[in-house]
Structure 1
C-alpha cells in the first residue's frame, strides 16, 4: 500500500532550538577562522526527534526498540479513521482461531469468522508496511509498500493452490486474479474519484503516474489474454488433452515473461528511469495534503516495531487463509456458492479491504497521485507478479495452474483497462468518471473456457 511520504529530504531544526544555535558560519572570515574543522550538526525532524542515519525524517520515531504500550496504541490508531474502525474487528481474530480447533464441525461459522478476521490482520500488514516505507526514500518506500500490500493476496493464492486437489480450487484462483484486478481498477478507483469529489469538484494527477501504469496494465492484459485466445481458437480442432497441455505450456512461458517484465518495469523504472518524475509527483501531493500537519505530528513505530507488527500480522493472515480455504469446498457444495462468485467477489473483497481504505483516505486528503498509484500499483502487481507467481509455483508443485480464463471475462478486463486509461488521459477526475467506473460491467459468473461446468461437483472433483 502506498504511504504518504511527507516532508522534504533535508533535516529539520529541533523544535524550540534557537536558529542561531545551529547556524553554520556564513562569512568567508568566519570560515577562515577554523579552516581545519568542519561542523557536523545532528539532523532533527519536524517533531524535534534526532534523525537516525538512513531513516527518512518523516519516519523517525524518536525511539528505539519495542515499547508495548506505544506499539499497541499506534497500531490501533492506524492510518485513518476508517482503518481505526476496522481495528475494532480484532476480537474476531482469536475467536476465529479458537473455533477452528474447538468446533471443526461448524464449517460455516469457521468460514465467516476467519473471513472477518482477515480484514483487521490485513489492515495491520498494510499499516506496518506504510510505517516501514516512511523510513525509506520516497520511491523505494513506495515499491516496498506496494509489495507488502499484495502479501495477503499471495498468501491466499498459495494456500488455495496447495489445497487444490484434482484442480478443484484452480477455477477459484483464476476468478480471484480477475476479481482482484477489477476490484482495484474499477471499484477502488471509482470510490477514490467519488470520495475525492466530495471535497473538491475536480482533482488533478500527474501524467507519469497514469500513463506508465496504464501502459503496464495493457501489457499485462494482453499477456493474460494469450492462453485464453489460443484455447478458444483451437477448441474442437485438436484433442482436448493435447490442447490443455499446450495451453498449460503457453501459460507457464507467458508467466515467466510477465514476471520478468514486472521486475524490470515495476521496480527498475521507478527507481532509475523515472525516479525524479515519480518523486516530484509525490511531493506535489504532499503539498496538497489538507491534513499534512496532523500526519506529521503523529507518533511513529520504530523500525523494530514495524518488523514485529509485520510478523504478527503475517502469521495471523496465514492462519486465517488456511482455515478459510479449508472451508471453501464445504461452502461451495453445501450452500451453492459458485467458484466464480467466491473468486471474483468474496476473495478480492477481503484481501484488498485494507488497500482500498488507504487509497480512499488519500483521495479524501486530495492526494490523487498517491491514490492513483495505490490503485494502479496493486493492479499491476496482481496482473504481472501475483498471477505469474502462482502459475510458476504450481509448475513446481506439478499442479496444472494455467491462465486459461473464460474469454468473455478476459475481454471485459482488457476493455476495463482501456476505458480507465481514457478516464485518466486528461489527468483530472470528477463525478462522471466515478459513476462510469462504478457501473462498468463485471465479468459473468459462468466459466466456459474450462471444463464443462467449471465448478466443484458434490464429490469434490471437477466434472
Structure 2
C-alpha cells in the first residue's frame, strides 16, 4: 500500500515539478511540490538500496546509497560555487554532516528502537568509522582554521588544496581497506545469516538503474528547489545560515534519510549505520575536498575554512556519535538523544 502511494506521488510530482518550473508557479507552492516529490523518489532509492544490500552486502549497499544521495548535493554545490555562493556551500555541507550524524542516525535508532528493544550493528565498522570521523573533523577541519589565522589568502588556499588531496587519498584507501583487502574479515555472524534468508525485490542491474534514474530526477528537482529558498525564507523569517545548514541539508539528503530509517525499521542496522556514518565520511573526506579543487576552476575559490560555530557543532556531533555508537548497539533513547542534539543546534543556528 505504501509503495503504491509513493508511486502515485512520483508519477504526479515529477510532471508537476517540470510544469510548475516552466510556468513559474508560486515559489511556496513549488517548494511543497518539490519536497513531496523528493520524498517519494527517496522511497525508490531506499528499495533499490535494500535490494543491493541483499545481493552485495550492507557495506556496498549503504555505500551506493550514500554515493547516489551525495551526488545530488555535489551537483547543487557545483552550481552554487559557480554562482559564488561559498558560504551557502560550506553551510550546506556542515548541515549534511550534522544531519547525517544526528538526525538520520537519531531517527534510525529511535524508529528501530521503538520496534526492537535492542538493535545491533557491526562494532568493528563502528570503531573504524569513529577513527575516520575524528580525523576528518578534528584534524582536517579544525587544524586548518587554527593554522590559517596568520596566513594570507594565497597560503590559506594552498593549505586547503593540500589537505583536500590528502583527504581524498585517505578516503579511497579506506574504501580499498573495507571492500578489498579486509572485506569479510570483520563481519559478525548475524550479518551473514540475515541476508542469506532474503530475496531481493529487484535484481542488481534493475536496482542500480532505479538508483541512477531516481538520483537524476532528485538532482533536477533539487536544483530548482534551491531557487525557492529565498522567497520561502523571507516568508518564514529564516536566515541564510539556517537555510544552508538545516533546510538545504535536510532536503538535499532526503533520500538517504528515508533509506536509513526504513532499514532501521526492518532491523537492518548495519545498512542504516553505513548510510548515516558512511555518507558523513563521504561528504567530509570526498565531496568537500573535491569541491575545493573544483572551485579553482571558477572565479572565486573556496578554502577549506569553516566558522567557529560550524566547527564546534561538527566536532560535538562527532564526539557524541562516537560515544553512542562504539558499543555496536542502539536503542530508542540513544536515538532521542541524537535528535535532541540536532534540535538544539538547529535552534542555535536559527537565532545566530
Higher mean Cα deviation, 326-335 or 144-153? Answer: 326-335
Query: Partner of 2:131: helix, strand, or coil?
Result: helix
Q: In structure 1, what is the Cα distance between the partners aligned to 2:291 and 2:335?
A: 32
CA contact (8 A) 2:132 2:281 kept: yes
Conserved 8 A contact 1:179-1:344: yes
Once residues 431 and 128 of structure 1 are traced to their aligned partners in structure 2, the CA distance between those partners, rounded to angstroms, is: 26
Task: Determine which structure has the larger helix proportion and give its number.
Answer: 2
| Change in 2 beyond 3 A, CA 1:300/1:308 | closer
Q: 1:262 aligns with which of 146, 171, 176?
A: 171
Aligned to 1:287: 193
Pair 403,368 (structure 1): closer, same or farther in 2 beyond 3 Å: same
Normalising by structure 2, report the TM-score: 0.85
Deviation at 1:408, TM superposition (A): 2.3
The Cα offsets for residues 151-186 of structure 1, whole Å up to 9 and x where unpaired, read as 222222223223x2xx3x221111111111111111
Structure with higher RCO (Cα < 8 A, 6+ apart): 2
- CA apart distance, 1:122: 4.3
**Residue 349 (structure 2) pairs with residue 445 (structure 1):** yes
Give the whole-Å Cα distance in 1 for the aligned partners of 2:62 and 2:31. Answer: 33
Shift of 1:144: 3.4
CA pair 288-437 structure 1, distance change in 2 beyond 3 A: same
Does structure 1 conserve the Cα–Cα contact (< 8 Å) formed by 2:144 and 2:160?
yes
- Please state if 1:159 is matched with 2:76: no
Number of residue pairs the alignment of both structures matches: 347
Aligned match of 2:225 in 324, 336, 340? Answer: 324
Q: Is 1:339 matched up with 2:245? A: no
Which is greater in Rg?
1
- Residues 223-262 of structure 1: pairs in structure 2 closer than 5 A: 223-231=140-148, 233-234=149-150, 243-262=152-171
Distance change (3 Å), C-alpha of 1:250 and 1:328: farther
Q: Tell me the TM-score normalized by structure 1.
A: 0.67
Alpha carbons of 1:84 and 1:370: their partners in 2 closer, same or farther (altered >3 Å)? farther
- Taking the TM superposition and a 5 Å limit, the aligned residue runs for 1:47-446 are 81=2, 85-90=5-10, 91-103=12-24, 106-128=26-48, 130-131=50-51, 134-136=54-56, 139-162=59-82, 164=83, 167=84, 169-222=85-138, 223-231=140-148, 233-234=149-150, 243-265=152-174, 267-278=175-186, 280-281=187-188, 284-285=190-191, 287=193, 296=199, 299-301=201-203, 303=205, 305-306=206-207, 308-331=209-232, 336-440=237-341, 441-442=344-345, 444-445=348-349
Q: 1:138 to 1:415 in 2, by over 3 A?
A: closer
Matches of 2:351 and 2:134, distance apart in 1: 23
Contact kept in structure 1, 2:62 and 2:272, CA below 8 Å? no
Shift of 1:447: 11
Q: Distance in 2 between matches of 1:380 and 1:187?
A: 15
Corresponding residue SS for 2:184: helix
| In 2, Cα distance between equivalents of 1:244 and 1:99 | 43
- In 2, Cα distance between equivalents of 1:399 and 1:124: 37
CA change 1:255–1:398 in 2 (3 A) is: farther
Equivalences for residues 40-51 of structure 1 within 5 A: none
Partner Cα distance (2:119, 2:103) in 1: 18
In 2, the alpha carbon distance for the partners of 1:442 and 1:84 equals 36
